[in-house]
A and B are shown apart, each in its own frame.
Chain A
């Protein structure tokens, strides 16, 4: 799985951080999403999938790698 994020679309809701804290974080200055890793190991993928599903800004895209 490969993750891409769209920082322009992101509204800083933090939903991804709640769903998958190992993979997503927020910038302190404006709460916008940052990726801690873009190819998470299988054990983390369910949470990442959940994060992309609940992201209100549709800012998280997952592609099979």
Chain B
């Protein structure tokens, strides 16, 4: 009943206490009883929260909503992200037509064809890391030993950077997506990364190879269309958007499978690549790790789910609860790797839907089809209840995952 709901809940809301994979029960109640309603943020502002799967899709595909973070009504995540947005504009903060042009500079690097061509190299990275892990201490923290190095090395491949940059990427990404990032540390990390990436542009300009930075160096830097700094910013965006997200999907996805042994054995013993592909989609849906959700501001008056949203109002599209909407996913609380889940919104929807999703998919498919097959006895080294989770981080995940085999 609507009158049983608190007038204006604060956002984000505390996650479920029992199951580490479930979103806030309050979100579930809003989905049923007040699917488009206002919430209160850290700075006292009161944007709209949109929860239904159909409404989230309609909203994110609507050209009347904007990602312009300089609008006073834009719902910022916290003071640090607000400050960072003010000085770093990436395609995530651009509307069409600027966004369209910027994004098209990069889409050729993420086609399905190119990602399939990368697959053998990603398989190699994953196999080598598993070899290293098996030769090392047992038990081990899977986050440090495997989940973080996979995307660090894949980003090296993508940008055409030597693997020695792995530690730099790992460290910088960690600083930038911490629970409560320290603004000065974040700024310093971002500068160190930019310096490295600008140098890489010069190296690629002198000696191009087959990677994103070589292409940008030759097509954009050499022709004067982009500066070194602009290309470095693209590199930073790919790192920040692609590193911790993938790492969390690897570690949290493994935690979820270990907690659901029947699902794990379906993935491990099925020997069916189509089932692994499906499992990756279902884990993306079920875990919905982008905790900050998708944030927008209305550029014009618009109606969503029967509510009038005024020009200038902030809007948060809550993908995590949209991915648990029973009208889109029957029995949504159940992890079922065989279900048809491809229409989830874990990568967003509309013009800003994840640029790296074809890459993320290949990474997750390779990991989920390899890790459990190569280490069939993989098990938690501590009880599930002892694991701690990143309740307040930009991307949800498990802090440490001690495993044994």
Q: B-contacting residues of A (Cβ < 8 Å)?
A: 11-14, 17-19, 26, 28-32, 50, 53-54, 56-58
Contact = CB atoms under 8 A, between A and B. Distances in A.
A7 to B, nearest CB: 11
B223 to A, nearest CB: 16
A16 B111 CA distance: 11
A26 B112 contact: yes
A18 B112 contact: yes
Given A30-B104, A54-B342, A11 B113 contact: no
B107 A30 contact: yes
B108 A54 contact: no
Nearest to A56: B353
Interface string B52-68: 00000000110000000
B111 A28 contact: yes
Interface residues of B, number: 23
Given A19-B342, A30-B104, A58-B61, A13 B353 contact: yes
B108 A30 contact: yes
Interface in B347-369: 347-351, 353, 357-358, 361
Contact of A28 (B113, B115, B351, B358): B113
B104 A14 contact: no
25 contacts: A11-B103, A12-B103, A12-B107, A12-B108, A12-B110, A12-B111, A13-B353, A14-B110, A14-B115, A17-B111, A18-B112, A18-B361, A26-B111, A26-B112, A28-B108, A28-B111, A28-B113, A50-B342, A56-B61, A56-B348, A56-B349, A56-B351, A56-B353, A57-B61, A58-B61
B353 A12 contact: no
Contacts of B229: none
B111 A14 contact: yes
A11 B342 contact: no
B341 to A, nearest CB: 11
Contacts of A58: 61
A28 B115 CA distance: 12
Contacts of A14: 110-112, 115, 358
B343 interface: yes
A58 to B, nearest CB: 5
A16 B353 CA distance: 14
Contact of B353 (A11, A26, A30): A11
A14 to B, nearest CB: 4
Contacts of B349: 56
A32 B108 CA distance: 8
Contact of B104 (A12, A53, A57): A12
Contacts of A30: 104, 107-108
Contacts of B103: 11-12
Contacts of A26: 111-113
B186 to A, nearest CB: 29
Nearest to A58: B61
B57 to A, nearest CB: 9
Given A14-B358, A19-B342, A31 B351 contact: no
Given A12-B110, A57-B353, 15 more contacts: A11-B100, A11-B103, A12-B104, A12-B107, A13-B353, A13-B357, A14-B112, A28-B113, A31-B108, A56-B61, A56-B349, A56-B350, A57-B61, A57-B351, A58-B61
Contacts of B108: 12, 28-31
